[in-house]
Chains A and B, each alone.
Chain A
Amino acid sequence: MSQFLYLYRMAGTARQEAMGTPERAQQNMQRWMAWMRDLDAKGHLKDRGQPLEQTGKVVRGQQKAVTDGPFTEAKDLVGGFSIVEARDIDQAVELSRGCPILDGGGSVEVRPVMKMDF
């Protein structure tokens, strides 16, 4: 089994939209719980991961310039991550298809964790 990082990406506006009404928030939450539970039950969920604040700082270049960001207006802001275990990238991708963030217009970036078995 290999490990993969899921990066949950979504625009700030889409995030508000996915929330919609309290009842939609409830349904959204239930879909996430069901998806996570399913991943866990099948032994794919290595680490639930962490949610990330929508704000922060970016430090860049040799000048070590500090700017505010990322911004909530960004097209695909990383909102959190999890680590899953899968046979290969194809299976990791297949598993990510059930992620409710996709229904809300977001995306899941699937990145293999580099193997250090050389």
Chain B
Amino acid sequence: MELSEHLFRRESGRLTAALTRIFGVHNLALAEDVVQDAFCRALEVWKVRGVPDNPAAWLMAVAKHRALDVVRRERTARTFESEVSRALESEWTLVPAVEEAFAVDTIRDEQLRMMFSCCHPRLPEDVQVALVLNILCGFGASEIASAFLLTRAAVEKRISRGKKALARSKQLFDLADAEFGARLSAVQRALYLLFNEGYHGSSAETAVREDLCGEAIRLALLLLDCPRTASPDTHALAALMCLQAARLPARLDAGGDLNPLVEQDRSRWDERLVEQGIALLERSAVGEVVSAYHIEAAIAAAHARARTVDQIDWPTIVELYDRLMAVAPSPVVALNRAIAIGERDGPEKGLEALRAIENADRLRRYPFYPAALGELERRRGNLAAAREHFSSAVTLARSRAERRFFEKRARDGVGG
């Protein structure tokens, strides 16, 4: 029997959710200890006896068993104060309550509630993302630190701050709460940030980044699994992630350097993810509201539909960027819109649009701004200016991969 990929990480979030239901969210640390115990036990036993046929079920059985032990041992000394705590008091109801906590639907719902609790508006977004990664995705502080290029201490601080807030809350977020809508937006936003960290992020390690994208997609699909959270904009968000992630295999060239979108080998895009993304996008097209996720997904779909670079429908893409600017304006969106205008109407118009960006000073440290200027200058034959812009981009690069990318653009483009 082989271990399925990331088995422990995946089960970590599911088991923690079930155990939190039993012990109460203020006992999150206890739930985590029980999960850790179950994993230790699995290691000891599987090492010698081999991995069982259903390792996830095995882990769950151990966790249930331990949960019963803990409740029986501590029910007099510790207050559980969970939503099922009354049932824990009597042997008659204890076993059914523990079984119920580990039922498929309960585990799904408790994971969703945990996700909603992690995205509490009083917690900063970086804390929310770290909490989600730690509790629901089973990432350790050191792993989050290496993915986000932070120190382990900084990540530990974020996690412990978040967990303190969680422990103070009486119970996990109730999906029937009046604040549901606002909180769903916060959850979507956290998953969007998590995905983007993987997609554009600072870590040079491809495997780490693909993991982050994979986790964001997994959690978005979990939201789609429950009717209440499967709103049109959740569908759009999941579509966006699938369509972007489809390009991951082609993002790096043979030498491990970043490949710009238009130069990617489209045959290396993940066909299955493209299809899934398009299907999700179609299902997102209900209701009145067109969210930023809808528009971003539509842009990604326009790229995905083009078999060759010549087939890219730039007029549609420019239109979509216009709509995105209306819904969620930002200098980075304006920058991408200007690049699309350059593709549709030629470099002069593109440069015009770039110069017209409001709040362009917010792009001062964003290396893709001078890179876009350089690209458009190069296309209209102004090589000296192009060279200058590309060298600014090189100095602003935030990672080695980015620096090499801009250096290559400068070399290839302007022959210097």
Contact = CB atoms under 8 A, between A and B. Distances in A.
A78 to B, nearest CB: 11
Interface in A8-27: 8, 15-16, 18-26
B36 A30 contact: no
A82 B142 CA distance: 33
Given A28-B43, A29-B3, A21 B142 contact: yes
Contacts of B44: 15, 51, 79-80
B47 A36 contact: yes
Contacts of B50: 33, 36, 48
Contacts of B138: 21-23
B200 interface: no
A49 interface: yes
Interface string A39-75: 0000000001111000000000000000000000000
A28 B143 CA distance: 16
A15 B49 CA distance: 18
Interface residues of A, number: 26
B47 A26 contact: no
B368 interface: no
The winner among A22, A30, A33, A36 for most chain B CB atoms within 10 A is: A22
Contact of B48 (A21, A22, A23, A49): A49
A30 B55 CA distance: 13
B411 interface: no
B140 A51 contact: no
B139 A51 contact: no
Main secondary structure of the interface of B (DSSP, over half): helix
A36 B46 CA distance: 11
A46 to B, nearest CB: 13
Given A23-B138, A26-B9, A48-B49, A33 B39 contact: no
A29 B5 CA distance: 12
A15 B142 CA distance: 18
Nearest to B46: A29
Contacts of A79: 44
A98 B47 CA distance: 14
Interface residues of B, number: 26
B18 to A, nearest CB: 15
Contacts, number: 78
Interface string B29-63: 00000001001101111111111000000000000
A32 B47 contact: yes
A33 B6 CA distance: 15
Given A15-B40, A16-B40, A21-B139, A26 B48 contact: no
A26 B6 contact: yes
B7 interface: yes
B49 A51 contact: yes
Contact of A26 (B8, B40, B45, B142): B8
B82 interface: no
B144 to A, nearest CB: 10
Contact of B36 (A16, A28, A32): A16
Interface string B225-259: 00000000000000000000000000000000000
Contact of B3 (A15, A19, A30, A50): A30
B206 to A, nearest CB: 16
A25 B47 contact: no
Nearest to A28: B43
A25 B43 contact: yes
B12 interface: yes
A25 B39 contact: yes
A82 B49 CA distance: 10
Contacts of A81: 48
Given A29-B51, A48-B48, A79-B44, 19 more contacts: A15-B40, A20-B140, A21-B9, A21-B140, A21-B142, A22-B6, A22-B11, A23-B139, A24-B140, A25-B8, A29-B46, A30-B3, A32-B43, A33-B50, A36-B50, A50-B49, A51-B45, A51-B47, A81-B48
14 contacts: A15-B44, A19-B36, A19-B43, A23-B138, A25-B42, A26-B6, A26-B7, A28-B43, A29-B43, A30-B3, A33-B2, A36-B50, A80-B44, A80-B48
Interface of B: 2-3, 6-9, 11-12, 36, 39-40, 42-51, 138-140, 142-143
